[in-house]
Amino acid sequence: MRKKFFIYGLLLFLIVAAVYYKTERGFLLVVIIPILLIIGIYNAIQTKHAILRNFPVLGYFRYLFEMIAPEIQQYFIERATDGKPFSRNQRSMVYQRAKNIDSSTPFGTQQNLNIDSYEGIKHSIFPAPVNEELPRVLVGGKDCKQPYSASLFNVSAMSFGSLSENAVRAINIGAKKGNFYQNTGEGGLTEFHLGGGGDITWQIGTGYFGCRDGQGNFSPENFAEKANLPNVKMIEIKLSQGAKPGHGGVLPAAKNTEQIAKIRGVVPHTMILSPPGHNAFSDSKGLIHFIKQLRDLSNGKPIGFKLCIGNTAEFEAICQEMITEDIYPDFITVDGAEGGTGAAPLEFADGVGMPFEPALIFVNQTLIRLGIRHKMRIIGSGKIISGYSILHAVALGADMCNSARGFMFSLGCIQALRCHNNECPTGVATQNKMLMKGLVVTDKSERVYHFHKNTLHSANELLAAAGRKSFADVDINIFMRGDEFANLSDMYFPDNLKNVTQFS
């Protein structure tokens, strides 16, 4: 291909040059073709890229198509029910609710309901009245001096750094208007989390950003200074998260600006890898005493921890230590392996951790079995973007729910899958100032507010359809599964009917 490129390229140049010499037409081609030949010569002698070496100019199309592959897949190939991690239908539902427009769909479901994995709500023939008041949950155990009345639905952990300044500000203003909280993520508590006046759950990760000393260790003094701010309602210790459990947080160098580096106390323009584990404690007993330390330093605010379940025995050991020390968290956030993140190694995202549903069931049942479930709240976090997913999480044991990607969609995220390279086209997950300007805070904060409100209203409508008046009355019995249909068939039809020949 290289020989053909240079032979045909040179012949074409000679022909164009001759035409230009005779007619004075084709000047641009006389200029462009030599440039392409020079590029081709360079690519033919370089040794890093085999495709460009063998196809000196045409090889660039491979990189072009690779770059726009997610857009081609999303806009031209995938069906409305396809798309990962969220389908087009799911994304459209969030956009419509965020814009406060009709989110109803025409003509019936596009899902296949006649399969074993189908799951649906057993509605009541006598539905309850729809509660127009949005549900709230009180968080605070026996040692909590400042219990917090939280919304049933809140913003999950997303750091400034992973998200843009405008995105963080818009979420906080929306949270203030809707009376729900915003989790800071492990990147630290910043002026953008505080500027809108919204409630905050401050997450403390393994890097201790915002509460670390010069050596990167936890600083009680720095923690106490921020933990006692009035906007900070709860503190969450991040043990692990979905998408990369057992791996520290990742902030790519392209997103580690001077501003972010100053906030986090790190070197700018370098990849920031948080340690996989905490150095303030190294076992269950240390975790429990760290909870007490943070509660004392914050003057009794609710303290909890977040984890993605892996080795179940380790969680059971933590629970046993709670009982032994008589020290309990005020909440536990359960994240699923399918949870989102701005950047994670593929092996961790695809192959580490327990999925959300079994993890939530395990945590809830373990606390019940040990007789301590009433001492704390469980927060569910894992692909929760709809009223249905909220109700489902509550049925499996959650008291309340967090969502990250749902609120990203409400900001305008189009699932471009560019969170990790600083090229988010909607200005949500980037530190590029030009891209960030596309996200108008005043407009998007309203969308955050409406998405929260309309999603909880949907949850209230589903609750009423199931004949229940309170989320405290919700359990797994309000759901049916496709594999139950076979049991219903066995119950209501004689076995010998299975042998009857069916005619088309």
Question: Who contacts 156 (Cβ-Cβ below 8 Å, separation ≥6)?
Answer: 183, 381, 402, 403, 404, 407
Give the count of beta carbons closer than 10 Å to the beta carbon of residue 65. 10
Question: Who contacts 204 (Cβ-Cβ below 8 Å, separation ≥6)?
Answer: 186, 211, 218, 223, 235, 236, 237, 238, 294
SS3 of residue 420 by DSSP: coil
| Domain assignment of residue 94, yes or no | no
Domain co-membership, 38 together with 169: no
| Domain assignment of residue 498, yes or no | no
**Model pLDDT, residue 334:** 96
Domain co-membership, 146 together with 46: no
**Model pLDDT, residue 362:** 95
C-beta separation of 376 from 332 below 8 A: yes
| Domain assignment of residue 130, yes or no | no
What is the sign, positive or negative, of the torsion defined by CA atoms of 447, 449, 453, 459? Answer: positive
Cα distance between residue 180 and residue 456, in whole Å: 11
3-state SS string for 170-184: HHHHHHHHHCCEEEC
Give one DSSP letter per residue of 208-225, joined into a string.
Answer: -TTSB-TTS-B-HHHHHH
| Number of separate domains in the chain | 2
Domain co-membership, 300 together with 413: yes
Domain co-membership, 358 together with 466: yes
- Angle (nearest 5°) at CA 500 between 498 and 503: 120
| Domain assignment of residue 108, yes or no | no
| Domain assignment of residue 491, yes or no | no
Cα distance between residue 354 and residue 20, in whole Å: 68
CATH number at residue 344: 3.20.20.70
Picking from 67, 86, 105, the residue at the C-terminal end of a domain is: 67
- Regions of the chain where pLDDT drops below 70: 1-2, 5-6, 8, 13, 16, 20-22, 26-27, 30, 70-71, 75, 80, 342-343, 485-504
Tokens for 374? 């009433």
Domain co-membership, 177 together with 41: no
Domain co-membership, 287 together with 396: yes
Domain co-membership, 311 together with 435: yes
Picking from 67, 88, 108, the residue at the C-terminal end of a domain is: 67
**Model pLDDT, residue 391:** 96
Give the pLDDT confidence of 285-300 residue by residue, as tens digits.
999 999 999 999 999 9
**Model pLDDT, residue 250:** 77
Range of the domain at 402: 136-481
Angle, in degrees to the nearest 10, between helices 312-325 and 284-297: 50
| Domain assignment of residue 244, yes or no | yes
Picking from 49, 67, 85, the residue at the C-terminal end of a domain is: 67
SS3 of residue 252 by DSSP: coil
| Domain assignment of residue 102, yes or no | no
Domain co-membership, 184 together with 326: yes
**Model pLDDT, residue 66:** 72
**Model pLDDT, residue 280:** 94
**Model pLDDT, residue 503:** 43
Domain co-membership, 142 together with 63: no
Residue whose pair of structure tokens reads 């992973």 in the numeric block = 162
Question: Who contacts 341 (Cβ-Cβ below 8 Å, separation ≥6)?
Answer: 162, 241, 242, 243, 244, 250, 349
SS3 of residue 136 by DSSP: strand
Domain co-membership, 37 together with 165: no
Q: Which residues of 66-98 are buried (b: 16+ CB within 10 A; e: fewer)?
A: eeeeeeeebeeeeeeeebeebbbbbbebbbbbb
Residue 255 sits at φ, ψ, to 5 deg, of -100, -5
**Model pLDDT, residue 339:** 75
- Amino acid present at 84: K
Domain co-membership, 242 together with 378: yes
Domain co-membership, 441 together with 302: yes
pTM, whole model, 2 decimals?
0.83
Cα distance between residue 269 and residue 281, in whole Å: 30
What is the sign, positive or negative, of the torsion defined by CA atoms of 451, 454, 459, 462? Answer: negative
| Domain assignment of residue 501, yes or no | no
